[in-house]
Every structure is written in C-alpha cells, then in structure tokens.
Structure 1
Amino acid sequence: MPSEIETRNDSHTSSAVRVSRSQVKKVAVIGAGASGSISLDTLLKENHFSHVTVFERRDKPGGIWCLDEDVGSIPQNVKAGASHELLDPPVENPFKEGGTDYHGKIIASKVAQERFEKTPSYKGLTTNITEKLMTFSDEKSWNVNNDPNYQGQDFVDGLVVQQYIQKYISRNLKDERVSFKTGVVVEDIEKVYGKKDSIPYYFRLMLRRGYNETFDELWQEDFDAVIVATGHYHIPNIPLIKGLPDVEERLPGKVQHAKFYRSPDLYAGKNVLVVGSRASGTDLAKSIAKKANLVYQSIRTPRASFKPDSYGIVQKPIVKKYEVVSSTTFKAFFDDGTESDELDYVIYGTGYQFSFPFLDSLYKESGVQLIKDGTVITDLFQHTFAISQPLLAFVGMPIDGISFRVFEYQAILVSRYLAGKVEMPNRAAMNDWVFQRLQQKGITRAYHTIGITDAFEYIDTLVQLGHIKDPKLSNGRQFPDLDKALVNRFYEEKLKAFWDDGDIQASAKT
C-alpha cells in the first residue's frame, strides 16, 4: 500500500508516496512568472483546493521578462567563484526567537544585503521559441491586446511576454479562492507539527514587505503545501579562472556578468571578450559587435556553422588564464595557445546558480542537501518533486527546451498529486532516478537541461506519472497534446537560423 504523508517519520523508502484527498487545501505559490502563473491556473482548475496564495516579490507578474532599465551598480560580492551561499544567504527569522505560534507582525529594519531582484532582461531582447510552442496550450497567441486582425508572430519582444504572463495570471485574480500578494518576499519556511486534524505538519512561511523607506513589515502565514516557482535567473555564475580575481581587484568593473547587461553603448570602440555560447552569450556578442572595436567569443565547443564574419566576432576556445597588462587593460590566454589583444572588458554569459535561501532552515532540519555547487538541485525527482519534503514541489526548474509548455505539464502533474489523484514512486526509486541522472550528466548545467533531445521523453514521463486510475477523478486541467512534428521542424529550421543568420538579433533563454 502507498504511504500517505501522515507521519513525521521520513524513513519510509519502499512505499509509493501519495497525499490523501483531504490533506492539502491551502497552497502557497512562490513566484508570479510563467511557472507561477500556470501553477495557479492549474490548481484552480482542480476545483479541489480551498485557497491558493501567490507571492511575488516584484510589483507585478512576469518574472524574468520584466524589464529593469537601470540595474544600478553591480553588487561588489559578484566575483569569480562566488557561491550562491555567499551571494544569497538566508535572512534571519525573528519569529523563531519567540516561538513559531506568534501570529503578530514585526517591524524591522530593511535587509541590507543584495537580493538580486532585478532581471537580466534588456531592450531588444526577444524570444527564441516559436509562438505555438512557447505559449500555454489554452492561450497559443502573443496577442496580448486582443487585436482582431492579429496574424501571429513567431518571435516577440520580451515585454510582450511579460504582458502575456500578466494577462494570463490576471484572469484568475477575481476568483475568491485566490490571493495575489505583490511586493512580498518569502524569507523562511518551517514545518509546524501536530496542530491540525489528521495532518502531522504544515508549512509556516515568514514573509516580508516594505513598510516605509526605513523599515519592513514581517508576518507569518500557514499552508498545507508549497510550490516553488521562482525560476533560476537570479544569482550570477562567474567561474574561477586563473588570474581573473587579479583583474577584478586591480581593474574594478572590467569583469561583468550578462545579468547586468543593458546596452552596447558602454563598449563603443572597446575590445571585449564574451564568455559563453548559449543564448545570452551569443546575444551579447552580436549586440556588442555593433559598436565595439573588437569582440571575441569564448566557446567551449566551437560550432562549425557559426559565421563570425556576419558580425565581426572572433571565435575562441575556453580561457586558460588572464593577465593584467596596463592600468586599464588585460589579456586572455586561450586553451589553444593563442591570446587576445588587450581587452577592456570581459562579460560572462555563463548562466546562473540555483538559490532558495527561504528553504535553508527547512533543509538543515532534515539533514538533506538541496543544491550541489549551485548547479544541481539534488533533492528533486523529475526536476519537480522534493524527495525529502513530500508537500513541497518545484515548477519551472528545467532549463532550455520548450519551457512554458514543459512548465504546464509539470503544473498539471503537481496539482494532481497535491489533490491526491496520483502517487509518486517510493523514495528509493526517486533517489535512484537522481543517482542515474547524476551518472549521466554530472554536476553540470546539463543535469536540468531539457532540450530537444530530452523533451519528448521527459514530457511522456510526466504524463505517465500523472495518469489518473480512477475515472471519477478525471476533472481538472488535462495534459495537452504536443505537436512533435512542429517541435522537430522548429528546431531544424528556426533555431538553426538563430545561430547562422542575422534575422534574429537577440533571443532569450527560454
């Protein structure tokens, strides 16, 4: 028999994991980007949950597609080799000092540390996934203004995507079962035991929002389950390369990360090295090449199809070391024995680190590691279910691929699980899946990458896990059909055009 989540003893590994139908009624969704908006919509369509609260730390929905034109000064702690623990540590929970039952409010000084709230979006950023694949299955159009003459548009400006998400989430905000709280940061989550009928524990969230210019207001709210939909484009990753710390120390501001890029104007007439070959690195190299004197792009695996002459970009292999050569410039030395001309800037488009500081105390209590090297969330089954925390799920962690549509499949599966309609494998099997994935992909970005190679198999797996055996429980959002021929055709034609042609000047990591 499957083991329901009705015990504080987490030692059960041989029984399937399920939630009883009466267990989860109040759900918290953290984040109001694409994954948060589809999670809300799908939870409501179950007609099972009494209340869903969405917490968004910005003043509007849209996630990474929101545009912050002014990023201000780059945080001083963003350095080569800086870990997510150093960059994004948890905030102290003052309620724990007086016991978790305190339900009043606390007025406290604003948090001084960098929170990395601003997005990596910039003017001119566009999508790189065709409209019919990137949008959700019940809103397959970027027609955010309801234009009756709209003819469809494959690739759109990032602000259109933000408006699409805002429109999608807004259609549910008048539902009496929904609370949508913007400007609110989830700072801590803890388990509270033995306070509700037939449920041994629930989650207590410590929340923060601005009170005035000097102080913040803190309070707590309780939920039966939590969905983390915060995305993964917040904490910059700059690898530690020989000589790079010396450049950072002696030439402040010369080492940058793509998260803080907004315009090519800073690089006019300069020599620039862009490190990274994925979407952000390629976008930046193309954009900066319009105004820079010289642009190098360091690529781990050179692409034979890349046409540097189209942009004046010089393709190079990985950087072996850096050396400062003057009071304003430095050089890069590459793995093939060549070196750059004197450089004015290096920009790292090397991705981001996973960071969930609000889960720090929860995982310390359980003794389970959540994140390895900022790269892999090791406690997740199918990139979705927290193995050691059966009432905690993640939507939106897979990287690349047809992201919005993958998030939709995840949200449907999570909703069915929390409603007690389907069960997950036993914990031993889930941990074995993690082990096998680590054996195949290692502690690398590839672990959570669901590109064209993995997309069909991954989606089929989610559908199989979400199969409802009892036909009486078949209500709710259904898994959409995926046009695999369209996906294959897109990847063969449009994505090749992105790398080789000048038609798509900027594209987002989607």
Structure 2
Amino acid sequence: MGSLASDNKAESGPDLGTIKDVAVIGAGISGVVSAAHLLRDGFNVTVFERTGVVGGVWDYEPQPDRDPPFPNVRPPAPNWEEVEREGLSSDEVALIHGPPNPCYAGLKNNIPTPIMRSSLLQWPEGSEDLVDQKVVHQYIKDIAHIHNVYDKINFNTRVESVSKPEGDKKWTIVTSTFARTKSGHTLTKKTSKFDAVVVASGHYHVPFVPDVPGLSTWKERFPGRVTHSKQYRTPVPFSNQTILIIGAGVSALDIAKETSQLGAKIIQSRRESKFDKLVSRLPEGVDRVAMVAEFIPDVVDDGASPQHLEPGQAIPGRVVLEDGKVIEGIDHVVIATGYITSYPFLGDLEQPLTAWEDADEKVLITSDGYTTHNLHKDIFYIPDPTLAFIGVSHLVSTFSLFDFQAQVAAKVFAGQAQLPPKSIMKEEHRERKARFQPGDRFHSMYAEEDAYIDKVLNWVNGDLTKAGVDPLPGMDGVWKSNYKLFQQRLTGS
C-alpha cells in the first residue's frame, strides 16, 4: 500500500500531524498491547478502563452482568445518566458503571497458545495449547507489568464521549470515574484532549438477543430460566436439567460441555452456517435441531408474571422449530447468539437505525451491530486516521493479530509508515463491501489472516525501510508453522 501512495503524484496520504498524546480505550489484551507498543515508540499514553482490573474478557467475576433487554437486536442508545438514579446503592452503581465481562469459571482459550501470543511476552515455559482463564488473565497482567502499562491506566473510568469538534486538531474525551468512599461513592467527570485515540474496547459487552416470537414473554414470566450466555458463570445451576441452547459458537460449545458433565440434557438450536465448525467438539448426546421459530407458554394470559417454578419443574410451554418440530420439557433456555458491536461513546458515528447497505463514508456502526464501517485494514478510520481500532477483526488468532495491528498503528502514528491517499482507502473499502455476500462476516479472516499480515507487513516495512527504521518482524517461524496446522484443521485440507 505504501507504493500506491508514492505513485499517486496528485494526492498524498493523509497528514496526521504531530502525534504525542494518545488515549487507549480498554485494558483487555487489545488495549494493553496497544499501550505497550505506543509507549515503546515514545508516545504519552493514557488508558481508560471501566472496570478495576486489567484483562478484559479474561477477568472472572462471580457476579454476572444484568440481563439485557429481550429482544436486543441493534446497538442501544447510551444512557449515561442511569447511574444517577435515586435510591441506587454503591454496588448497583458499580455494576452499571463498569459491568462485569462474560468470563465464566471454566473458560479456556480455543486458539492454541503457540498462535495466540503477543510479541511482547512468551507464554510460560511448558504452557499447554489450551489453558484456563486464570493463566490467560495472568499473561495479560504480566504484559502490562513488564511494559509499564499499569502506570498509565485510569481504572473504574468509563469513556462517555469521544469527539473532534469542527476545526479542532485534537480529540475531546469525556470520562466518568467511579470511586467508593466511606459514605458511599463518587462519580467524577473529566474532559481531556488527545492527538489520537485507539479504541480497544472489544465486542463482548452488549448481548445480541434475537427477536423470536414469544421469547420476551418467556423471559418475563420465567426470568431465571431464560438467560443470555453472558450471564453464565458455572454449570452447577444446570445440573440434570434439560437445556435449550440457541447458537453454535464457542460459548454454546463450552456451556454444552460443562453442563453435560453434570447430567444435563442438551438441545442445540441453530441455523445452518459455513461458520458452524464446532460440531465435532460437542459432547455425545447433544440433540442438534433447527432454529427456534416460536416460544409458546401453556397459559396465554393468566395475569401472573413472573411465575414461580419449583426446582425440577420444567418451563410450562413448548418451543416450535422452523422445521415444524415441537419441543417440550425444557428447564432452561440459554441464548448464546453472540454480541452487538457498539461504541456508544462515538456519538453520531454510531447510527443504530441505519441499514448496513445505507452506510455513508463517515458512519462506523449501523443497525446490523456487527460491521465497523470505513476502516482501512480493520484499523484506521478513513475520514480521520488519528482514530484507530484494535481488535475489530473476527475469527483470528486474537492476541497475535491484535498485537500486530497495534504495532502497525504505532508506526503510522509515529509518521514512520504512511497511509495511502484517502481516495485509495475509500475505493479499497468499497471494493471489499462489493465482494461481501449474505451469510459472510465482514471482519472475518477465517483461515486467511496470514495473507492479511503479509500484505500489511509489505506496506509498512516498505515505508520503514525508506525511513531508515528497523522493519517490523511480523510473525515468527513458530507462529507460522503452527498457524498452518491450525489452518488445515479449520478448512479440513
């Protein structure tokens, strides 16, 4: 891409100006590696983390998040004032201000450690391919300690607004910090200015709950029996129950495996998809059925909502599937249909009522709640590349790829690698959208991220060489050989 910019004599790449102060939103793996690489390149870095710990989705808290709305199908409008409602306890305010992540006690990585690692730190000697949540969490914390990221983090601080007023050269960030006191708590607002912003807040915050007829009625009447997978913590409450799991992703697989070991009978409802690759890893006895078409309670209107069910009593109702099959005797419904990508702090750049196909050249999020529009290489916001995103790409080696993207962002912010002209970035984005097919996932790099890395590396290192700067090493031989094996398992080749 560097050669495209240099060959275009009429237009050069965007001038990002002199960047010194950079804000990083989030202290999960994406935020920690972003901060570390920016610090290594000499930037002043401030990290905002709405919880009290480093680690993001790998931080286990027994307390789950609150229930999402049923249904919940598009990015929600922010409600920053909710924490100021009268009568809320400090614990309630803390839960709203910095909601727990979806980590469950038995969570393990599903990407082998040899290809899920930061360039900043090797896994401990002898680490297995799959390790539990505590090991992964400690790995992220170790990176933050070793690379002096902890000193830069504002904990219990949520970002409520990121904007760049017309004519302003800096981004304005408004934050709210929660702190407990002897008499209760305080909420402190602050406004700060930055030359650049890295959004590394992840996409496992807002649960997606499909609008299936009757589902909201079941949730209203039997609230403890119908939950989203974000609320799942341990399999114990599901012992010897019949569980209907809706979805075919990693969470659905893990919940099926953990609960079946405690005698649960699993019915998995899902749609046919080319991304449904986990069937071979399901425990024996799982009944895979068609997608749910309707939830029907036994009593249409009895005036009792919610209803109390005795332990061992199944939900009084039936589920009709899209193929016409009817299921009864369900004890618990788990909605494991994933999450909505949302950046509520970005104001008008998030347009939850705009259809995917109607996205203009400025919007970032539309009603589909998945695609982050107008990004170059899934990193740089094309209208203003001083706004960057790390961790948008899906079905990737996560830690490894996000670490690589963070290195690229640092080099571009340092002026050592040059972005192409905006016209070229826009055209590349339009062409990518034109290739997009229904059923695809726009940010998926399924078994193809090595090609993405090579292309980006060629662009960046071409510019770094011209600038007399050491090139980025990219992925080492261990990663490449292990990724090739992983790629073969994914594709069956």
Given the two structures, how large is their TM-score scaled by the length of structure 2? 0.82
Aligned pairs for 1:254-269 (under 5 A) are 254-269=225-240
- In the alignment, the residues of structure 1 paired with residue 342 and residue 289 of structure 2 have an alpha-carbon distance, to the nearest angstrom, of 31
* Partner in structure 1 of residue 72 of structure 2: 81
* Partner in structure 2 of residue 314 of structure 1: 287
Give the match's secondary structure for 1:79. coil
Q: Say yes or no: does 1:462 pair with 2:456.
A: yes
Give the match's secondary structure for 1:371. coil
Amino acid at match of 1:71: P
Q: Say yes or no: does 1:325 pair with 2:293.
A: no
Q: CA deviation at 1:55?
A: 1.4
Which of 9, 15, 21 aligns to 1:19? It is 15
Give the match's secondary structure for 1:17. coil
- Cα deviation code 1:392-440 (max 9, x no counterpart): 0000111222111111221111111111122223333323333333333
* Partner in structure 1 of residue 170 of structure 2: 202
Aligned pairs for 1:411-490 (under 5 A) are 411-441=406-436, 446-452=441-447, 454-469=448-463, 470-475=465-470, 478-481=473-476, 483-490=479-486
* Partner in structure 1 of residue 341 of structure 2: 354
Which of 77, 102, 125 aligns to 2:107? It is 125
- In the alignment, the residues of structure 1 paired with residue 60 and residue 459 of structure 2 have an alpha-carbon distance, to the nearest angstrom, of 37
Amino acid at match of 1:80: P
* Partner in structure 1 of residue 247 of structure 2: 276
Amino acid at match of 1:136: S
* Partner in structure 1 of residue 365 of structure 2: 371
Aligned pairs for 1:93-108 (under 5 A) are none
Amino acid at match of 1:63: G
Instruction: Decide whether aligned partners of structure 1 residues 445 and 29 sit closer, same or farther in structure 2, where only a CA change above 3 A counts.
Output: farther
Q: CA deviation at 1:44?
A: 2.2
Q: CA deviation at 1:262?
A: 0.8
- In the alignment, the residues of structure 1 paired with residue 94 and residue 155 of structure 2 have an alpha-carbon distance, to the nearest angstrom, of 20
Does the CA-based 8 Å contact 1:24-1:224 persist in structure 2? yes
- In the alignment, the residues of structure 2 paired with residue 305 and residue 164 of structure 1 have an alpha-carbon distance, to the nearest angstrom, of 26
Give the match's secondary structure for 1:450. coil
Q: CA deviation at 1:180?
A: 2.2
Aligned pairs for 1:49-448 (under 5 A) are 49=43, 51-71=44-64, 74-75=66-67, 77-86=68-77, 88-89=78-79, 114-115=96-97, 117-141=99-123, 143=124, 150-173=125-148, 179-192=152-165, 200-211=168-179, 212=181, 213-301=184-272, 306=279, 310-325=283-298, 328-361=315-348, 368-372=362-366, 373-441=368-436, 446-448=441-443
Q: CA deviation at 1:25?
A: 0.8
- In the alignment, the residues of structure 2 paired with residue 18 and residue 304 of structure 1 have an alpha-carbon distance, to the nearest angstrom, of 41
Amino acid at match of 1:380: L
- In the alignment, the residues of structure 1 paired with residue 361 and residue 488 of structure 2 have an alpha-carbon distance, to the nearest angstrom, of 45
- Which ranges of structure 2 fall in alignment gaps of 5 or more residues? 3-9, 85-91, 300-306, 308-314, 352-359
- Cα deviation code 1:350-373 (max 9, x no counterpart): 111111111115668x99322122
Amino acid at match of 1:164: Y
Give the match's secondary structure for 2:461. coil
Give the match's secondary structure for 2:267. strand
- Cα deviation code 1:456-501 (max 9, x no counterpart): 22212321332343544414854333643321213445999xxxxx
Instruction: Decide whether aligned partners of structure 1 residues 434 and 487 sit closer, same or farther in structure 2, where only a CA change above 3 A counts.
Output: same
Instruction: Decide whether aligned partners of structure 1 residues 239 and 217 sit closer, same or farther in structure 2, where only a CA change above 3 A counts.
Output: same
Amino acid at match of 1:465: W
Q: CA deviation at 1:250?
A: 2.9
- Cα deviation code 1:218-251 (max 9, x no counterpart): 1111110000111111110011112222222333
165-174 or 394-403, which moves further after superposition? 165-174
- In the alignment, the residues of structure 2 paired with residue 27 and residue 85 of structure 1 have an alpha-carbon distance, to the nearest angstrom, of 27
Given the two structures, how large is their TM-score scaled by the length of structure 1? 0.79
Instruction: Decide whether aligned partners of structure 1 residues 350 and 305 sit closer, same or farther in structure 2, where only a CA change above 3 A counts.
Output: closer
Amino acid at match of 1:320: A
* Partner in structure 2 of residue 101 of structure 1: none
Instruction: Decide whether aligned partners of structure 1 residues 219 and 473 sit closer, same or farther in structure 2, where only a CA change above 3 A counts.
Output: farther
* Partner in structure 2 of residue 105 of structure 1: none
Q: CA deviation at 1:319?
A: 1.6
- In the alignment, the residues of structure 1 paired with residue 13 and residue 133 of structure 2 have an alpha-carbon distance, to the nearest angstrom, of 39
- Cα deviation code 1:158-187 (max 9, x no counterpart): 111111111101122289xx6222121111
Does the CA-based 8 Å contact 1:255-1:347 persist in structure 2? yes
- In the alignment, the residues of structure 1 paired with residue 225 and residue 80 of structure 2 have an alpha-carbon distance, to the nearest angstrom, of 29
- In the alignment, the residues of structure 1 paired with residue 226 and residue 409 of structure 2 have an alpha-carbon distance, to the nearest angstrom, of 41
Q: CA deviation at 1:89?
A: 4.2
Q: How many residues align?
A: 446
- In the alignment, the residues of structure 2 paired with residue 353 and residue 304 of structure 1 have an alpha-carbon distance, to the nearest angstrom, of 21
Does the CA-based 8 Å contact 1:19-1:417 persist in structure 2? no
- Among all aligned residue pairs of Structure 1 and Structure 2, give the percentage whose two residues are the same amino acid: 27
Amino acid at match of 1:274: I
Q: CA deviation at 1:188?
A: 0.9
Give the match's secondary structure for 2:52. coil
- In the alignment, the residues of structure 2 paired with residue 174 and residue 270 of structure 1 have an alpha-carbon distance, to the nearest angstrom, of 45
Q: CA deviation at 1:390?
A: 2.1
Amino acid at match of 2:453: I
Amino acid at match of 1:423: Q
- In the alignment, the residues of structure 1 paired with residue 277 and residue 210 of structure 2 have an alpha-carbon distance, to the nearest angstrom, of 25
Instruction: Decide whether aligned partners of structure 1 residues 461 and 16 sit closer, same or farther in structure 2, where only a CA change above 3 A counts.
Output: farther
Amino acid at match of 2:391: G
Does the CA-based 8 Å contact 2:257-2:283 persist in structure 1? no
Does the CA-based 8 Å contact 2:98-2:158 persist in structure 1? no
Does the CA-based 8 Å contact 1:123-1:262 persist in structure 2? yes
